[in-house]
């Protein structure tokens, strides 16, 4: 499976699996972009995420951990 910045929910699930002990609300935007870009299957431009997209990923990651 490949991931791009458009795959907010899939990225959030992958982050939740890769970093189950991390609090997504304490991850800075630049660090979040770096974490996403190192996920297996991520094929998009690491610097192409907007602030809004990173916030959406962060919120979805938080929700994935709460389930």
Give pLDDT tens digits for 16-64.
Answer: 999 999 999 999 999 999 999 999 999 999 999 999 999 999 999 999 9
pLDDT exceeds cutoff 90 at 1: no
Where in the sequence is the domain holding 35, given as residue range(s)? 8-66
Query: Quick check: is 29 in a domain?
Result: yes
Residue 36: how many CB atoms within 10 A of its CB? 23
Domain count within the chain? 1
Evaluate whether residue 1 is within a structural domain.
Answer: no
Asked if the structure places residue 3 within a domain, the reply is no
The answer to whether the predicted template modeling score (pTM) of the entire model surpasses 0.85 is: yes
Looking at residue 67, its pLDDT comes to 82
List the one residue out of 35, 34, 59 whose CA is nearest residue 47: 34
- Give the CATH number, domain containing residue 38: 1.10.10.600
pLDDT beyond 90 at 7 = yes
pLDDT of 19? 96
């Amino acid at each position: 499976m490949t991931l791009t910045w458009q795959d907010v929910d899939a990225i959030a699930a992958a982050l939740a699996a890769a970093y189950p002990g991390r609090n997504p609300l304490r991850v800075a935007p630049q660090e979040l972009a770096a974490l996403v870009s190192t996920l297996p299957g991520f094929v998009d431009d690491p610097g192409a995420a907007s602030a809004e997209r990173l916030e959406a990923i962060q919120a979805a990651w938080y929700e994935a951990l709460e389930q």
